[in-house]
Amino acid sequence: MSSPDDVVITGIGLLTSLGEGADANWEALCAFDAPTIDSERFAPYTVHPVPEVDWSQQIAKRGDQRQMEAWQRIGTYTAGLALEDAGIKGNEALCATMDLVVAAGGGERDVDVDTIILGRIAAGETDTGTIINQVLTSELRPTLFLAQLSNLLAGNISIVHKVTGSSRTFMGEEGSGISAIQSAAARIRSGQSTHLLVGGAYNTEHPDMLLSYELGHYLMRDPWRPVWQRARSEGGGVVTGSGGAFLTLESRAHAEARGARIYAAIGDVAADLGPTDSAETRKRLDRLAGETAIADADMIVSAASGSHARTANEKAFLSESLPDTPVRGVSTATGHLCEAQFPLAVALAALSLSKGEAIPVLDDSFEAKTSDAPKSIGVVTVGFDAAEGMAIVTKADGAGA
């Protein structure tokens, strides 16, 4: 039964290697045969790049574009797509009362400065503290540092799109995306917000972003293969992707009052974090599954990263606890979008429900075919290093669907 307090999705903004916009991403996913990847620029690592974008379509002022690094442009642009899709963009009254929840990383580092520091260390200098202090005080531009503050993605969205309600930024890789969706849904369900913009963005096409993964030995060095087939790959199994995913969420009452189209409803969202050994991870996944009743879902959209141990844990959970539920590992098609990974999976689940079609098989080594149109989809994220999250997304019903 629907309720006025239901959390519904009325706008989807997507920018991934599959394309720009919700419809383009859905069409590319349905026709998926091979990913859009670049294995040359950052060899031996492969990335899923975003397509060429006319940033002025969502960020009109060139001055605004110039002062943003790529991850902020991706996020601000994608947020604009979500607002436009919901019919809210340009509506000053709705934007002024709209809350904002963002999952963000630490920004892009100054690679030239990092190179100077590493070069001096490689040349034999041993006092790293002195080296760092000398280089940072002489080479680092304060304006660049300020432009990288994590909450400036939210700030740029507020400036460009005039979304000026309350604003919150979460940090912490996939965990931040899970917490952002969880917090956003809770605010609407409790009546603290009537409409809200939530999501994240990631730019992997920047050397320091790849370095942050590789320092933990997470990146796959072999030729690309689907996310479920990386257990024996050289390196760590993760193939990253650039992109953004934002959702416009509303209470059902608010959405119906303005005659908005409703893609789907978000049910329970659960999250956890703890020791990453197999036994403890499995206990948490079982608990999250109980909290969300994910076993009742018709399909699972997994945001598995490919990280060896963590994806093995997730695969075992799916095989043993949900053996009859079709699974789709969407990172096969998009790459791993870090902070935007959980919002991306929720968005694709909502698209599947609204289209009345199951996401097609992306890797038949683990994913089973189904001809049934899902009515509910479980979303599962097991972070490449830490954090787990689950959510239930259900088919919309009633007016505006």
Given a cut of 80, whether residue 400 has pLDDT beyond it is no
Both tokens of 233, joined, read 């790959």
Q: What is the share, in percent, of the chain residues with pLDDT greater than 90?
A: 86
List, for residues 148-187, the tens digit of each pLDDT value: 678 889 999 999 999 999 999 999 899 999 999 999 999 9
Residue 341: phi and psi, rounded to 5, are: -65, -50
Task: Describe the crossing of helices 173-190 and 341-355 by its angle, rounded to 10 degrees.
Answer: 60
Task: Based on the fold, state whether residues 175 and 214 are members of the same structural domain.
Answer: yes
Q: What is the rounded CA–CA span in Å between residue 112 and residue 345? A: 35
pTM: 0.94
Same domain as 158, residue 115: no
263: Cβ contacts below 8 Å, ≥ 6 apart = 8, 9, 10, 12, 350, 351, 353, 354, 396
On the CB side of 228, CA atoms within 13 Å amount to 18
Would you give the DSSP letter of residue 223?
Answer: S
- Count up the domains in the chain and report the number: 2
Name the strand (E) or helix (H) holding 8.
strand 7-16
Instruction: Give the model's confidence band at 399: pLDDT under 50 very low, under 70 low, under 90 confident, else very high.
Output: very low
The answer to whether residue 145 scores a pLDDT higher than 70 is no
Domain that holds residue 363: 7-109+148-395
Q: Is the pLDDT of residue 389 over 90?
A: yes
CATH number of the domain to which 235 belongs: 3.40.47.10
List Cα–Cα distances, 72 to 55, 82, 102, 112, in angstroms. Answer: 11, 15, 11, 20
pLDDT at 371: 86
Residues 105, 123: one domain?
no
Say how far apart CA 238 and CA 218 lie, in whole Å. 6
Position 330 pLDDT exceeds 80: yes
Report residue 191 CA to chain centroid gap: 25
pLDDT confidence bin for 115, thresholds 50/70/90: confident
Sorted by sequence, the CB contacts under 8 Å of residue 57 that are 6+ apart come out as 77, 80
Say if 326 falls within a structural domain: yes
Looking at the structure, tell me whether residues 125 and 255 fall in a common domain: no
